[in-house]
């Protein structure tokens, strides 16, 4: 186990202990803040309905993430190669991206229904922007001397893209991909809250209506764990791919 | 030696016509950047297989000249540039001259071998074949045992040898080397100079070599050319009649000293001009 991971786990354990202690010591009512032990017990007891919800949200987030990442990288490559097109499109793209995601969510529900498709589209949209902007930044920030060298070897623009720009941009692409993991979970859950028949977001929304706050916390716990696992997995992958940093 | 290296050897040495045929010829080649005149009508002619060194104060336009020769920078209209006797317009030079820029520019995600074959790969050579050839040449470039290392793991001298290997493997008759040993310590530099001469005597490329070290310019060159302070032009073109192969003891020989004195005067004059124009 790495030192950072051990410290992180230790910190989390201390935080949970403090939480448990404060709730018990001051007798905080569970509808304001339940103790971690209560949340764990509820999660286990309701596993039959919570696990499928977690699976549904995870699938939506993952599918949207994959689509968004691929489209974001491809669009960035295209706009890095075509400067006139970039000058035309970039201001529009940035303007669309400046509006908070939640504002588009009702439209997505209207166009793509309350099934998984609307969540996948929303996640892809947000991940796509994040990855696109990071990738474009990396592709354009490449050392001009390196580009000159490859051109002196007779490389075409595509050759420079493949052998220099793209690998040089990998650290930036990786940052976009890492940030996007958490965003993909947030967007999937928020969109589920606005209209859905499954998933953790929908579970939270429903539990609030039923005043079942332990169930809300149980869903939040699972969402956090899923998000953390996703973030960690991409981080591990990143360290393998971008080994020279 | 493996078959691949032999093939390269044959390719490089057998076809060499008698020294004396003009390989590269510049006539009134100039370049300005806006109001800044970087290069002022450069006249220079280099014979096949010749080793010409170029020396001049910093900022005088040496790298600009190399960028023009590599096809990366368009010269101002008016001058002529001939490669093998034929006019070579700027765009046509890309991919025809092996250019080694001032910084090594090794790619951190490629191993030593894969950095060395970069140009060959871009030229469409099969990766496996290029690697095999590079592997057979690793010892000659002092990189044996480091083939699969990454640039970050190498010393400055080794990095330069990888960059040089990349330039050699970009199988072109003319090589432009921009201060390749400028960042190395004196001892490493002296070793690399002799090693480069050794390589050159075997592969017989036409070399134009930028340096700001007069000893280096004389020790390496068949000719030393001196460029003036900006706007740069060739103010002195001195043949170096010292016999080859050259040994380190040459550096203290009287005939070497005489040449050095002569060149030092010319360079000092230009450096003073640059100093007066730009300040320290
Ligand atoms: N791309 C460029 N744009 C503007 N000025 C340049 C450019 N490249 C070089 N120069 C200028 O031209 C002059 C010569 O530069 P350079 O050829 O790099 O000198 P050297 O290699 O001899 O030190 C310098 O004054 C430099 O500032
Ligand atoms: Mg320079």
Contact state of A148 with B72 under an 8 Å Cβ cutoff: yes
Do residue A183 and residue A104 come from a single domain? yes
Do residue B123 and residue B93 come from a single domain? no
Give the C-alpha separation, A6 to A219, whole Å. Answer: 26
Mutation for testing the B interface, residue in A153, A161, A170 having most B CBs under 10 Å: A153
Q: What's the domain count of chain A?
A: 2
Contact state of A153 with B95 under an 8 Å Cβ cutoff: yes
| Last residue of one domain, picked from the residues B153, B171, B189 | B171
Residues with Cβ within 8 Å of residue A239, at least 6 apart in sequence = none
Contact state of A167 with B101 under an 8 Å Cβ cutoff: no
pLDDT tens per residue, range A164-197: 999 999 999 999 999 999 999 999 999 999 999 9
Do residue B148 and residue B41 come from a single domain? no
Residues with Cβ within 8 Å of residue B51, at least 6 apart in sequence = B197, B200, B206, B207, B209, B220, B221, B222, B223
pLDDT tens per residue, range A10-37: 999 999 999 999 999 999 998 889 999 9
| Residues of chain A found within 8 Å of residue B121, distances taken between Cβ atoms | 163
Do residue A4 and residue A100 come from a single domain? no
Specify the residue for token string 């650290």: A171
Do residue B263 and residue B132 come from a single domain? no
Mutation for testing the B interface, residue in A147, A148, A149 having most B CBs under 10 Å: A149
Backbone angles phi, psi at B55, to 5 degrees: -130, 145
Strand B223-227 with B86-87, pairing: unpaired
Do residue B165 and residue B201 come from a single domain? no
Q: What's the domain count of chain B?
A: 2
| Residues of chain B found within 8 Å of residue A152, distances taken between Cβ atoms | 70-72, 94-95, 97, 99
Minimal-distance CA residue to ligand 1 atom 24: B59
Do residue A143 and residue A229 come from a single domain? yes
Is the predicted pLDDT of residue B59 greater than 60, yes or no?
Answer: yes
Do residue B236 and residue B268 come from a single domain? yes
Minimal-distance CA residue to ligand 1 atom 9: B64
Minimal-distance CA residue to ligand 1 atom 20: B59
Band (pLDDT 50/70/90 cuts) for residue B67 is very high
Q: Which listed ligand is nearest to B34 at the C-alpha? A: 1
| Residues of chain B found within 8 Å of residue A167, distances taken between Cβ atoms | 107, 109
Do residue B186 and residue B242 come from a single domain? yes
User: What's the whole-number average pLDDT of chain B?
Assistant: 89
Do residue B192 and residue B139 come from a single domain? no
Q: Which listed ligand is nearest to B33 at the C-alpha? A: 1
Is the predicted pLDDT of residue A53 greater than 90, yes or no?
Answer: yes
* Domain limits for position B114: 102-171
Task: Point out the residue among B108, B119, B152 whose CB comes nearest to the CB of A153.
Answer: B119
Give the C-alpha separation, A60 to B85, whole Å. Answer: 66
What pLDDT was estimated at residue B18? 43
Q: Which listed ligand is nearest to B230 at the C-alpha? A: 1
Do residue B192 and residue B120 come from a single domain? no
Contacts 24+ apart (CB under 8 A), A237-245: A238/A174, A238/A177, A238/A178, A241/A170, A241/A174, A242/A170, A242/A171, A242/A174, A243/B109, A244/B108, A244/B109, A244/B150, A244/B152, A245/A171
Give the C-alpha separation, B130 to B136, whole Å. Answer: 10
Give B91 or B158, the one with higher predicted confidence.
B158
Band (pLDDT 50/70/90 cuts) for residue A1 is low
| Residues of chain A found within 8 Å of residue B96, distances taken between Cβ atoms | 154
* Secondary structure (3-state) at B176: strand
Distance of CA A124 to the CA centre of its chain: 10
Both structure tokens of B103: 């910084």
What pLDDT was estimated at residue A115? 95
Do residue B164 and residue B92 come from a single domain? no
Chain A nearest C-alpha distance from B21 (Å): 24
Q: What is the CATH number of the domain that holds B243?
A: 3.40.50.300
pLDDT tens per residue, range A98-107: 888 888 899 9
Do residue A107 and residue A16 come from a single domain? no
Backbone angles phi, psi at B207, to 5 degrees: -120, 135
Do residue A202 and residue A139 come from a single domain? yes
Contact state of A170 with B71 under an 8 Å Cβ cutoff: no
Chain A nearest C-alpha distance from B268 (Å): 30
pLDDT tens per residue, range A57-80: 999 999 999 999 999 999 999 999
What number is the average pLDDT over the span B260-276? 84
* Domain limits for position A21: 1-33
What number is the average pLDDT over the span B102-123? 96
Q: Answer whether B31 contacts ligand 1 (Cβ < 6 A).
A: no
Report ipTM (2 d.p.): 0.85
Give the C-alpha separation, A205 to A193, whole Å. Answer: 6
What number is the average pLDDT over the span A121-141? 96
Give the C-alpha separation, B97 to A163, whole Å. Answer: 20
What pLDDT was estimated at residue B7? 47
Do residue B178 and residue B165 come from a single domain? no
Do residue B213 and residue B260 come from a single domain? yes
């Amino acid at each position: 186990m790495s030192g950072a991971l051990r410290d992180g786990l230790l910190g989390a354990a201390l935080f949970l202990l403090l939480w448990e202690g404060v709730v018990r010591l001051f007798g905080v009512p569970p509808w304001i803040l339940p103790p971690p032990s209560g949340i764990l017990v509820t999660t286990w007891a309701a596993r039959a309905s919570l696990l499928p919800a977690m699976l549904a949200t995870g699938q939506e987030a993952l599918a949207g993430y994959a689509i968004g990442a691929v489209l974001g990288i491809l669009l960035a490559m295209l706009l890095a190669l075509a400067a006139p097109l970039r000058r035309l499109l970039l201001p529009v793209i940035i303007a669309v991206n400046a509006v908070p995601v939640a504002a588009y969510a009702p439209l997505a529900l209207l166009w793509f229904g309350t099934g998984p498709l609307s969540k996948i589209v929303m996640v892809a949209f947000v991940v796509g922007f994040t990855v696109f902007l990071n990738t474009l930044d990396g592709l354009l920030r490449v050392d001009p001397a390196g580009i000159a060298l490859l051109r002196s070897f007779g490389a075409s623009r595509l050759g420079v893209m493949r052998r220099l720009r793209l690998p040089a941009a990998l650290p930036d692409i990786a940052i976009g991909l890492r940030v996007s993991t958490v965003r993909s979970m947030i967007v999937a859950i928020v969109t589920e809250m606005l209209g859905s028949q499954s998933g953790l977001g929908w579970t939270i929304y429903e539990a609030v209506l039923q005043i079942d706050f332990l169930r809300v916390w149980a869903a939040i716990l699972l969402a956090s764990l899923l998000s953390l696992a996703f973030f960690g997995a991409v981080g591990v992958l990143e360290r393998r791919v971008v080994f020279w940093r | 030696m493996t078959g691949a290296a032999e093939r390269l050897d044959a390719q490089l040495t057998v076809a060499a016509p008698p020294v004396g045929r003009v390989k590269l010829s510049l006539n009134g080649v100039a370049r300005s950047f806006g109001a800044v005149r970087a290069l002022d009508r450069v006249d220079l002619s280099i014979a096949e297989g010749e080793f010409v060194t170029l020396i001049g104060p910093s900022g005088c336009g040496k790298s600009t000249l190399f960028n023009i020769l590599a096809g990366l920078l368009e010269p101002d209209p008016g001058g002529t540039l001939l490669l093998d006797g034929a006019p070579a317009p700027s765009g046509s030079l890309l991919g025809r001259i092996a250019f080694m820029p001032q910084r090594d520019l090794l790619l951190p995600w490629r191993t030593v071998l894969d950095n060395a074959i970069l140009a060959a790969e871009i030229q469409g050579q099969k990766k496996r074949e290029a690697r095999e050839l590079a592997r057979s040449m690793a010892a000659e470039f002092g990189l044996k045992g480091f083939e699969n290392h990454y640039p970050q793991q190498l010393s400055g001298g080794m990095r330069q040898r990888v960059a040089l290997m990349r330039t050699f493997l970009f199988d072109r008759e003319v090589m432009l080397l921009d201060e390749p040993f400028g960042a190395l310590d004196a001892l490493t530099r002296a070793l690399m100079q002799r090693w480069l001469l050794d390589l050159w005597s075997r592969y017989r490329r036409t070399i134009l070599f930028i340096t700001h070290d007069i000893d280096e310019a004389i020790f390496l060159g068949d000719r030393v050319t001196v460029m003036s302070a900006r706007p740069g032009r060739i103010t002195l073109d001195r043949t170096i009649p010292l016999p080859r192969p050259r040994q380190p003891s040459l550096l203290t020989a009287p005939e070497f000293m005489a040449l050095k004195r002569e060149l030092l005067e010319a360079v000092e004059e230009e450096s003073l001009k640059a100093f007066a124009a730009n300040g320290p």
